[in-house]
Amino acid sequence: MKKELNIGLPAGRQGFIQALGVTIYCGLVGLIMWNGDQIFGKVDTFIAPITALLMFSVSALVCGLLVFYKPYLLFFQNKKEEAVKVVVATAVSLFTIILILFEVMYFVK
């Protein structure tokens, strides 16, 4: 007997939490990239572009898991409508967070 996933949160709240996780992860990666010279020193070898591409690939994987893992589980438990609601709520939350960040960047020049 398969155990059924019970996320225990409404789709909107689950989507917001997932979007917040993506935002925090992107913020941490952004901090590493912003302070890369201070953290790692000047890198003039072929290692730098390889590392950047690997970080890009890992970031796509992590963000994909943060956004789609729970909807994936819901989908295969035949809760397709709930899965779609979570994905849409995550997309709307991410868009809202981006708009807020743009406003902050605009007003804090």
Boundaries of every domain in the chain: 12-102
Alpha helices in 35-46 (DSSP H): 36-40
Question: What pLDDT score does 14 carry?
Answer: 94
Question: What pLDDT score does 6 carry?
Answer: 58
Question: What pLDDT score does 24 carry?
Answer: 97
The answer to whether 103 touches 95, Cβ cutoff 8 Å, is no
Mark the ranges of the chain whose per-residue pLDDT is less than 50: 1
CA contacts within 13 A on the Cβ side of 93: 20
| pLDDT tens-digit series, residues 18-37 | 999 999 999 999 999 898 88
Question: What pLDDT score does 2 carry?
Answer: 59
CA dist list (Å): 71 to 16, 30, 43, 97: 13, 27, 40, 21
Question: What pLDDT score does 47 carry?
Answer: 87
